[in-house]
Amino acid sequence: MGQRLNRLWRGAMTACCFALFGLGGMLLSLLWFNLLLLFQRDAQQRQCRARRSIAASFRCFLRCARATGVLDYRIEGAEKLESDRGCLVVANHPTLIDYVLLASVMPEVDCLVKAELQRNLFFSGVIKAADYLINSQSDTLLAESRRRLMKGDVIMIFPEGTRTRPGEPLKLQRGAANIALRCDCDLRLVHIVCSQPTLAKQHRWYQIPAQKPVFSVVVGERLSVNDFKNDNPHAPSLAARRLTRYLESALTPQHY
């Protein structure tokens, strides 16, 4: 009986937390970001404040979810993410809130996002205000990534391109490897696991797991891209395949 009541409570609080998340996204997009546009004329300062606001809202969401018993989380090595500059943060992608977990401790992070999210009511304003990179902008993506990395930005990428399907091996796209090699930047590896099946590709937010899920984020090593470059300057695709294979292996759970 107690377990059933706990699950019902977590179901109700999950609905409240995600409603709060959606409301927060709308308030940021419709109110705060427009105020920034009016009163902060410097584009770089406006972008910085927008990203810090997003991180603060994510911390609020996570703390509310923890306080109400919806979930728990721990981030091991958050100080590495906070101090990183001019690199890619490459992570696996098991759940819907992976970006939320990482961005909550990275107040000025950039992110490579899918183009279709620009049509999402809750994310479109966030993407525009934070000036995130869009994966459909293939003509300018590498040049713009290089420019941002050279000025010290950190770009978050989920190289699977979508959430992991439980029980299936990790299959990465080569986008992260190509950006790292062509922009000559390091990669910071991050692994995310969840103790319960929830918020995965085939799960809806209202499908409440039997027990409270615990999210574990482990910030791993920082890789030098030079270790993966091929001596043959005419074979960048070989280096990209080699680096992608390494990432597929390094981001699997047994390495953490």
Residue pLDDT, tens place only, 225-254: 988 886 555 567 888 999 999 999 999 866
Q: Write down the domain spans for the chain.
A: 2-255
The answer to pTM > 0.75 is yes
Structure tokens at 145: 């990534």
Please return the burial class of 56, using the count of CB atoms within 10 Å of its CB with bins 0-12, 13-18 and 19+. middle
In the predicted model, is pLDDT for residue 94 greater than 80? yes
Q: What angle do CA 211, 212, 214 make, to 5 degrees?
A: 120
Could you give phi then psi for residue 100, rounded to 5 degrees? -60, -45
Which residue type does 76 have? E
| Confidence check: pLDDT of 126 > 90 | no
Residues 245 and 105: their CA atoms lie apart, in Å, by 28
Return the structure tokens found at 157: 């990428």
Average pLDDT over residues 110-122: 83
Average pLDDT value for the chain: 90
pLDDT band at 255 (very low <50, low <70, confident <90, very high): very low
Spatial neighbors of 63 by CB under 8 A, at least 6 apart, are none
Distance (Å, whole) CA 10 – CA 214: 13
Assign 190 a pLDDT band (cuts: 50, 70, 90): very high
Measured in whole angstroms, the distance separating CA 191 from the mean position of its chain's CA atoms is 11
Closest CA to 155 of 51, 15, 252, 12: 51
pLDDT tens for residues 40-84? 889 899 999 999 999 999 999 999 999 999 999 999 999 999 999
CA gyration radius, the chain: 19
Can you name the CATH fold of 2-255?
Glycerol-3-phosphate (1)-acyltransferase (3.40.1130)
- Say if CB 200 and CB 166 are below 8 A apart: yes
